[in-house]
């Protein structure tokens, strides 16, 4: 009898049962872990932003050009200072005073004419009560302009009636030209 012929199975084919498909790999982090990691990164970003800002600065300061202001020039004030011990040289204290009006006090277009009308009174007050009342030694000090600014602000704001609670007509005093010159 002829040998039984088995059905031909090609070599390398898997047996009749299907081969198992490998399972997909598990993710390293679950959904909760990913959300936690995103929140942590956002918190670190905010912390870096807050730490890298300069201290004391507002988040969005107004540009200087947008801040409107007006100024009133009171002119030049001078005072002859007594001679030192040697007596050969005489000094002269010369300063130019400019008032910066407070833009928050009111409309600068309305306030400036009011200050201009009182310009002679303001010049007199600065000349008599600030420049000439001060001892000569004080006018020779390094920090004389800080003291002058403080005294002029207080005196002139009082004269203009700008001493309402926290509001002043004059915001700042500038001294663009100031010298103590020696003369023979």
Q: What are the tens digits of pLDDT across the range 167-177? A: 788 888 888 88
State the pairing for strand pair 90-101/178-183: antiparallel
Measured CA to CA, the distance from residue 20 to residue 183 in angstroms comes to 109
pLDDT bracket for residue 40 (50, 70, 90): very high
Mean per-residue pLDDT, 77-92: 76
Measured CA to CA, the distance from residue 98 to residue 55 in angstroms comes to 32
- 184 pLDDT above the threshold of 50: no
DSSP annotation of 90 reads E
Of the listed ranges 27-36, 59-68, 128-137, the least confidently predicted one is: 59-68
Phi and psi at residue 16, to the nearest 5°: -60, -25
Contacts of 64 (CB under 8 A, 6+ apart): none
- 128 pLDDT above the threshold of 80: yes
Domains (ranges, CATH) in the chain? Answer: 67-183 (3.30.479)
The residue among 85 and 132 whose pLDDT is bigger is 132
The residue among 83 and 71 whose pLDDT is bigger is 71
């Amino acid at each position: 009898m002829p040998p039984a012929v088995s059905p031909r199975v090609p070599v390398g084919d898997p047996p009749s049962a299907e081969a198992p498909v490998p399972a997909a790999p598990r993710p390293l982090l679950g959904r909760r872990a990913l959300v936690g990691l995103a929140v942590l990164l956002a918190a670190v970003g905010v912390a870096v932003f807050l730490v890298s800002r300069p201290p004391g600065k507002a988040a969005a300061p107004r540009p200087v050009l947008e801040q409107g202001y007006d100024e009133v020039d009171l002119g030049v004030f001078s005072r002859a200072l007594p001679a030192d011990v040697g007596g050969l040289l005489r000094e002269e204290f010369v300063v130019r005073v400019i008032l910066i009006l407070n833009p928050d006090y009111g409309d600068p277009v309305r306030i400036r004419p009011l200050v201009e009308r009182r310009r002679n009174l303001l010049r007199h007050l600065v000349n008599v009560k600030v420049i000439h009342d001060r001892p000569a030694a004080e006018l020779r000090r390094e920090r004389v302009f800080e003291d002058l600014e403080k005294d002029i602000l207080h005196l002139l704001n009082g004269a203009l009636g700008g001493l309402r609670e926290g509001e002043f007509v004059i915001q700042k005093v500038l001294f663009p030209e100031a010298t103590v010159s020696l003369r023979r």
